[in-house]
Amino acid sequence: MKDYEELSRLHFNRQACDYDKKNTVYYSREGKISCAEISDYLKTCSYERLLDIGCGTGYLAQLLSKTHRGTYTGLDISENMIEVARLKGIPNAEFVLGKSDALPFEENSFDIVTCSQSFHHYPRQDEAMKEAYRVLRQGGIYILSDTGIGGVGAWLDNHLLFKLLRSGDCKTQNRHGISRMMKNNGFECILSKQISRMIYMVVGRK
């Protein structure tokens, strides 16, 4: 069986130095779109502590530092991505190495948890969502934005294309599948939005 986690780590380690510069589908284009949508949504929210799972090079932290006063914690499996993020010197931001399904934080630690363009790399998606729920305080918000389709397209990606790729892509689904998963893991789904033909955002409340 493929080690999707290790493949993702190696893939993003290779991309880290050029990730922000290359605004293409296999680099930062989709991530920037999702982060911009999340940042825009958060303009209506007040928070003290935010956790960004799969933070990459800290693009969301850069956006939020312009308009928000809360503290930002970014977590990623790629040590090279974390290094690039730290070198940016973003105010009120810290970056830690870690895994989405074993978060190194206590229960009820964050007001907001975000996840942009990394969920389809997670081989244990339910466990990752349970961890997001665990570290959120009661009433906290979980924002997940990713690329994904349903139906035959998702089946082809999950059972054929992703089996061939070496980038750690594991499982894709559309916003309806994510909404169901959130509800199954205890969240109240308060928004399900299609951003573009391929990119969605779903918001849940604990």
Written as one string, the DSSP assignment of 115-149 is EES-GGG-S-HHHHHHHHHHHEEEEEEEEEEEE--
Per-residue pLDDT at 151: 74
Per-residue pLDDT at 4: 86
Query: 32, 59 in Cβ contact below 8 A?
Result: yes
Residues 103, 106: Cα–Cα separation, whole Å: 8
Residues 72, 48: Cα–Cα separation, whole Å: 9
Task: Extract the residue ranges of the chain whose pLDDT is less than 50.
Answer: none
Per-residue pLDDT at 87: 97
Per-residue pLDDT at 160: 63
CATH number at residue 155: 3.40.50.150
If one counts the domains in the chain, the total is: 1
Per-residue pLDDT at 97: 98
Structural domain of 43: 4-205
Per-residue pLDDT at 61: 97
